[in-house]
Each structure stands twice: as C-alpha cells, then as structure tokens.
Amino acid sequence: MRIAISAVQGAFIEHQQMLSSLGVECFELRQRADLHRSFDGLILPGGESTVQGKLLRELGMFDELQQLLRQGLPVLGTCAGLILLAQHISNDEQRYFATMPLTVRRNAYGRQLGSFSVTARCGSLEAVPMRFIRAPYIESAEAGVEILAEVGGKIVAARYQRQLGLAFHPELTGDSRLHQLFLSLVRGDSRTKEAVLA
C-alpha cells in the first residue's frame, strides 16, 4: 500500500510522520510528474485551502486527482483538505474537488483566537483529541454521508463512501486511530490508481 500526500503547502510532514509510525509507505505530490507513481490513497493536509487549491490547479494535478476521487480513490482531508473535498463552501464562491456532498463553512470559528482543542467521540472511537486551527465545520450533509463527530452541535467529521473529511487535525496529536481508520478504507479495496482508472 502506498499513500500520496499533497505537499503543495501546509502541514504535510506531520501526516508523513504519522504514516511512517504506522509503517505505511507514502510520497509527496508537488507537481504533475509526481502523479506518474501509483498510489492507493490520498491525503489532503491542513494549510490554506486557497493556496493549495490554486497550486494543485496551476501545477497540473487538479484534474487528474479529481477524476481519481470521482472514481473512488480513498482520501483523507483534514481542515483545508476537507474544504477542498466539499461540494459547497457557504462563505466562499470557490469550489475545488467537490466530491463530498456536504457544505462547509471556512474559518467557521473566527480568527486564531477562536482556535481550540477538545476531546470527543468520533464514530466508534472514544476520546479522540481534536485540534481546531482556524477550522471549518460542516454545516449540512446530504444523504449517504455518515456523520462521525459533532462538537458543540456542529458536524466536524464525516465519511462519504471512501472519503474521510475532518475539520480538525489528527496529525498534530499522537493518536493514530483516525489514520488507521483511513487506512482501513484504503485496504477495503486495494485497487491501485491504474486499476481505478481502467
């Protein structure tokens, strides 16, 4: 199994470290040529969604990744990554991959003074440490989306098919359970990128 991590901007090294600790091979996507390698899953890290969306497009990776996602490539999006996956962004005209049928709100808790941490249940996982950094939340989700976690009445984690979207940052904690959940989604169907495309 090999995971590709978008490395155009943001906290991608933290995801690499988490995967390495789990003994999973991963590599960085910085430009179009990096897509020539085969991979079984994708991670879209935290950072600034405006920057990442723009660079994924201008560095020639956006269309192919979007096609792969539409065809079922497993993906984990954290914070900015969730925004890239959302079909609608309520306070922004931009749309990116738009492969998760839900609506997110950017910077939903305000500026950095609104950043916070909590420990909460996520799906079947108890006491997951959650770091919210200028985070979005999910305002609404369409049928077929499984709500995994709510904090203060707002949805902060959801799964749609093999796409996992989190408003918070499991990669900043020592808790690898959500990465393991993502890897189980990847293992659920180990078709490689080529197989998905075919």
Q: Under the rule (CB under 8 A), what is the footprint of other proteins?
A: 7-14, 30-31, 46-48, 50-51, 54-55, 58-59, 79-80, 92, 106-107, 110-113, 115-117, 131, 133-134, 169, 172
Q: In terms of CB distance, is 40 or 49 closer to other proteins?
A: 49
- Burial class of residue 151 in the structure, from the number of CB atoms within 10 Å of its CB (0-12 exposed, 13-18 middle, 19+ buried): buried
Q: In terms of CB distance, is 117 or 190 closer to other proteins?
A: 117
Q: How far is the CB of 118 from other proteins (least distance, A)?
A: 10
Q: 171 catalytic, yes or no?
A: yes
143 and 79 Cβ atoms separated by less than 8 Å: no
Q: 88 catalytic, yes or no?
A: no
Helices (H), the chain: 12-21, 49-58, 62-70, 80-85, 177-187, 193-197
Residue the block writes with tokens 């020592």: 174
Q: How far is the CB of 88 from other proteins (least distance, A)?
A: 16
Q: 122 catalytic, yes or no?
A: no
Q: In terms of CB distance, is 27 or 116 closer to other proteins?
A: 116
52 and 61 Cβ atoms separated by less than 8 Å: no
Question: Which one of 14, 26, 171, 179 is the catalytic residue?
Answer: 171
Q: What's the number of CA atoms in the CB half-sphere (13 Å) around residue 105?
A: 11
Q: In terms of CB distance, is 105 or 159 closer to other proteins?
A: 105
Q: How far is the CB of 129 from other proteins (least distance, A)?
A: 11
- Angstrom distance (rounded) from CA 65 to CA 191: 15
Question: Which one of 14, 79, 122, 179 is the catalytic residue?
Answer: 79
Give catalytic residue positions: 79, 169, 171
